[in-house]
Amino acid sequence: SQELEQSPQSLIVQEGKNLTINCTSSKTLYGLYWYKQKYGEGLIFLMMLQKGGEEKSHEKITAKLDEKKQQSSLHITASQPSHAGIYLCGADPISRGSGNTGKLIFGQGTTLQVKP
Amino acid sequence: SQTIHQWPATLVQPVGSPLSLECTVEGTSNPNLYWYRQAAGRGLQLLFYSVGIGQISSEVPQNLSASRPQDRQFILSSKKLLLSDSGFYLCAWRRVLNGNTIYFGEGSWLTVV
């Protein structure tokens, strides 16, 4: 079955530093989603990427999807304590029927701590 | 604007008791609706998927069931809870005709004791 692998599993950075979280799939993806979660709370939508080579930015967070649509990265510039949380990548695998069903699979998450 | 609500937020239930978690979406029509479970150390797993009233697809075999009695209402149920049903349950929705973004509710913590 198709799986998403996130790396690193956890990350501790000093405030102001840049960081990157990666999400890799063994198969081509229809859509790639990035979410942020505080423990015990719902998922907050960050960005969605669908086209190979696509890149989107929101405030200090940038997400990219590679040309083969199998790997995505999330980059945070000048991290702040408000960026702390669990980052999850989710994907709509083409193998699930025709794709674009919204039936997402998720990575295990990356826990980010930002030290003031 | 569209919003999604889940309740109750927290629930402690004894083994063998019934369960009903409710999810409601506002501000849209005919959304795709989803129930996910987030168990400790297992990540998020899709449980049920619905494209319309009365149309439910079960993604994994389990002790739970789902129903969609109204267009924007999605209910997760069980007749008899098991200890293994404990976890964090998340409802999600997607507007099909205009964009593929999937939004999640606040989640419901279920502890079966």
Is A102–B94 a contact, with Cβ atoms under 8 angstroms apart?
Answer: yes
Q: For residue A94, what pLDDT band results from cuts at 50, 70 and 90?
A: low
- Count the Cβ atoms, other than its own, within 10 Å of residue A9: 11
- Paired tokens of B103: 């939004």
- In angstroms, how far is the first alpha carbon of chain B from the final one? 38
Would you state the pLDDT for residue B89? 97
Going by pLDDT thresholds of 50, 70 and 90, the confidence category of residue B98 is: low
B101 and A45 in contact by Cβ < 8 A?
yes
Would you call the peptide bond into B18 cis, given omega within 30 degrees of 0 as the criterion?
Answer: no
Which one has a higher pLDDT value, B50 or A51?
Answer: B50
Q: Tell me the residues of B at the A interface, defined by beta carbons under 8 Å apart.
A: 6, 32, 34, 43-44, 46, 49, 59, 88, 90, 92, 94, 100-107, 109
- Chain A contact set for B92 (CB, 8 A): 43, 102
Interface of A with B in 57-86 (CB under 8 A): none
Residue B62 pLDDT: 82
Which residues of chain A make contact with B105, given a CB cutoff of 8 A? 42
**Vertex B100: Cα angle to A47 and A104 (nearest 5):** 80
Q: A47 vs A73, B32, B89, B100, CA distance in Å?
A: 11, 19, 22, 11
- Residue of A87, A84, A94, A59 whose CA lies nearest to A73: A87
pLDDT tens digits, one per residue of B66-91: 999 999 999 999 999 999 999 999 99
Say yes or no: A50 contacts chain B, CB-CB below 8 A. Answer: yes
> pLDDT (tens digit, 9 = 90+) per residue, B27-63?
988 899 999 999 876 689 999 999 999 999 998 878 9
Query: Which among A33, A50, A109 is the nearest to B102, CB-wise?
Result: A33
Cα–Cα distance for residue pair A33/B84, rounded to 1 Å: 28
